[in-house]
A and B are shown apart, each in its own frame.
Chain A
Amino acid sequence: MRRFSGLAMAGLAIAVAVLSAPPAAMAADTPNPPADLKAFQKFFKDKFPKVKFEDFVNGPYSMDEGLYKQWKEKEEFPPYEFALDLGKELMAKPFKNGKTLADCFPNKGIGIRQDYPHFDAKQGKVITLELAVNQCLEANGEQPYSYVKDEMAAVTAYMAYTSRGKVFDVKIPDDPRALAAYENGKRYFYTRRGQLNFSCATCHVQSPGERIRAEVLAPALGILNAMPIYRSEWSGMGTTSRRFTSCNSQVRGVPLKPQDEEYRDLEYYLSYVSNGLPISGPGARP
C-alpha cells in the first residue's frame, strides 16, 4: 500500500509535469505500426538490458530473480494442468450438431494462438481468440462461455499450450479499418482513466519491476504471451478479458464489458508490438 501510493504520487508528478509541458510531440502524425513496434521493443530492451528478449514473455518473473526461481519450481507441478485437460476435452467434444470447437479453427485449433487477434475484413473488426471461440459456439447453436474464466480459460490455455514457442505474428492488413482499430487500441493503452488517473502505461511501461502490494508489475512487452494465467489470488484461471477488467478496477475505473471493441483493439495493439516474442501460455502467477 505504501509503495502503491508512492507510485500514485509519482503518477501525479508525471501528470503535472507532462501536462504543463508544451505539446511538442503532438504534431499530426500518420499511423506507422512497424515504427511503433521498433520503438516499443527498443524501450524495454534499453530499460532492462539484463533481461533476455524471450524472457519478456514471463511477465513479473522476468523482472525479479527470486520470483524467477519460484516460477521455475512452480512449472514442475503447474497449477494450470487441469485447465489443459479440460481444454483439450472441450475442443473435441461434439456439439448437438455433431461438429466440434476444433472444426472452427485452422489446423483444428492446434498451434495457432500466435495468429490472434486478427482483423476480419468481412466482419470489419478485430477477432480475438476468445471472441472466435464464442462465435464458434453461437454459430453452432451452443451457449457461449463466460469470457473471464472456466471453460474459456481452459480452451484458450490448451490452444496457447499447443502454440508454445511460436512467435506472435499479428498482422495489420492494408485496410484503413484495421489501422483505425490498431490506433484505437494504442490510444486506449496510453489514456489515463479512473480516479487514480493512471493509464495502462503508467504501471506497465513506467513502473515494471516495481511492487504494488505484494505483486511485481509486468512489462507491457510480451504481456499477453502467457495468457491465460493461473493466479492464486483468483484461486483459478483467468483470461485476457479477466486481466483487462481487473486492471481497470484497480485504478477505480468501471471496466467495460469483456470483448467490447476497446478491449479487442487494445489486445490487437499489445499483441502486435510483441510480434517476434514466443507464446508461453498458459502462465502461473503467485
Chain B
Amino acid sequence: MSRSISALAVALLLGGFVMPAHAASTEADYKAAYAAAESANAEAGKLRNQWTTAVSALKASKAAAEAGDFDKATAEAKKSEQLSKAAIFQTNEQKENWKLMEIR
C-alpha cells in the first residue's frame, strides 16, 4: 500500500513519465491512445479532480496529430492517460485519508 503510494507521489512530483521507446506510431495507435486518454480525463472530471497537465497533454496530442506527427501524438496521449489515472488514484486514496491532515 504505502509503496505504491510513494511511487505515485514521486511520479506526481517528477511530473514527466518516461515513455518506453518503441516502433513508429500510426494514426490508429494515436486514435486508440487518444480515446483512452480522453476517457480517463472524463472520469477524473466526474471525480472533480482533473489535472491541468493531463488536459494540456491531451491538447498537445491532438495538435501533434493534426501536424501529422503520430509518434508525438501517441506519446502525449499516453502521458495524459497516465496523469489522469494518477488523478483518479489520488481521488480514491483521499476519500478517507483527507482526515489525516485535519486539525483536531
Interface residues in chain A, defined as those with a beta carbon under 8 Å from any beta carbon in chain B:
8-9, 12, 15-16, 18-21, 23, 25-26, 35-36, 39-40, 43, 186-187, 190-197, 199, 201-202, 205-206, 249, 252-254, 256, 262
Q: Give the docked Cα–Cα distance between A201 and B103 (Å).
A: 9
B12, B15, B45 — which one has the most chain A CB atoms within 10 A of its CB?
B12
Cβ of B28 within 8 Å of any chain A Cβ, yes or no, is: no
Q: Which 10 A-B pairs have the closest CB atoms?
A: A20-B2, A254-B50, A191-B98, A190-B98, A16-B6, A43-B103, A190-B101, A252-B52, A195-B51, A197-B12
Is B96 touching A23 in the complex (CB atoms < 8 A)? yes
Q: Give the docked Cα–Cα distance between A191 and B53 (Å).
A: 19
Given A8-B13, A12-B9, A23-B96, are A193 and B49 neighbors across the interface (CB < 8 Å)?
yes
- Chain A proximity mask over B18-46: 1 for CB below 8 Å, otherwise 0: 00000000000000000000000000010
Q: Give the docked Cα–Cα distance between A249 and B52 (Å).
A: 7
B1 proximity list for chain A (CB < 8 A): 19-20
Cβ of B100 within 8 Å of any chain A Cβ, yes or no, is: yes
* B40-90 residues at the A interface, CB under 8 angstroms: 45, 48-53, 55, 83, 86-87, 90
Is A26 touching B2 in the complex (CB atoms < 8 A)? no
Q: Give the docked Cα–Cα distance between A68 and B10 (Å).
A: 37
Interface residues in chain B, defined as those with a beta carbon under 8 Å from any beta carbon in chain A:
1-2, 5-6, 9-10, 12-13, 15, 45, 48-53, 55, 83, 86-87, 90-91, 93-94, 96-104
Given A36-B104, A201-B101, are A253 and B50 neighbors across the interface (CB < 8 Å)?
yes
Partner of B99, one of A26, A43, A194, A206: A26
* Chain A residue with Cβ nearest B5: A19
Q: Give the docked Cα–Cα distance between A183 and B72 (Å).
A: 44
Q: Give the docked Cα–Cα distance between A214 and B87 (Å).
A: 29
Is B13 touching A197 in the complex (CB atoms < 8 A)? yes
Q: Give the docked Cα–Cα distance between A80 and B9 (Å).
A: 41
B55 proximity list for chain A (CB < 8 A): 254
B5 proximity list for chain A (CB < 8 A): 15-16, 19-20
A201 proximity list for chain B (CB < 8 A): 101-103
Q: Closest CB of chain A to B41's CB: distance in Å?
A: 9
Q: Closest CB of chain B to A159's CB: distance in Å?
A: 29
Q: Closest CB of chain B to A33's CB: distance in Å?
A: 12
The contact sample of 15 A-B pairs, CB cut-off 8 A, is: A15-B9, A16-B6, A18-B97, A19-B6, A19-B97, A20-B2, A23-B96, A26-B99, A193-B49, A194-B49, A194-B52, A195-B15, A196-B13, A202-B101, A205-B101
Is B98 touching A195 in the complex (CB atoms < 8 A)? no
Is A254 touching B2 in the complex (CB atoms < 8 A)? no
Is A191 touching B51 in the complex (CB atoms < 8 A)? no
Q: A15-B9, A26-B99, A195-B52 are in contact. List 9 more A-B contacts (CB 8 A).
A: A15-B6, A16-B6, A19-B93, A23-B99, A26-B100, A39-B103, A192-B90, A197-B90, A252-B52
Is B102 touching A18 in the complex (CB atoms < 8 A)? no
Q: Give the docked Cα–Cα distance between A94 and B98 (Å).
A: 47
Partner of A19, one of B2, B10, B50, B104: B2
Q: Closest CB of chain B to A38's CB: distance in Å?
A: 10
Partner of B98, one of A43, A187, A252, A256: A187
* Chain B residue with Cβ nearest A201: B101
Is B13 touching A253 in the complex (CB atoms < 8 A)? no
Q: Give the docked Cα–Cα distance between A193 and B48 (Å).
A: 10
Is A40 touching B103 in the complex (CB atoms < 8 A)? yes
